[in-house]
Amino acid sequence: MKRSKSVLKRIRQNEAARARNRANISKHKTATKKLEAAIEKKETTAARETLPSVVAALDKAVTKGVLSKNSASRKKSSLARRINALG
């Protein structure tokens, strides 16, 4: 069956959106993993310095529509609690 022009265009648009979403997901996951590594090593100063960049990455993911607001808020809160527990 032949695909219409609009179907082909939607396929192209979806592939582009998927690539953008994957890039945004990768950015916030990488930042979060870096912070979690610092927390696991109990490096308080490194963790406190990394937290603002992680929060910014999560907020950016929310504005791009990759994460929901509540999900990002929950992650930020959890990370902040873990850092505060270090001392």
pTM, 2 dp: 0.84
pLDDT at 2 over 90: no
For 69, the token pair is 């607001």
> Looking at this protein, which amino acid is placed at residue 35?
L
pLDDT tens figures, 33-86: 999 999 999 999 999 999 999 999 999 999 999 999 999 999 999 999 999 999
Spatial separation of the C-alpha atoms in residues 54 and 64, rounded to whole Å: 15
Res. 22: pLDDT tops 90: yes
CB 64 within 8 A of CB 25: no
Name all domains of the chain by residue range, CATH numbers in brackets: 5-86 (1.20.58.110)
Residue 20 one-letter amino acid: R
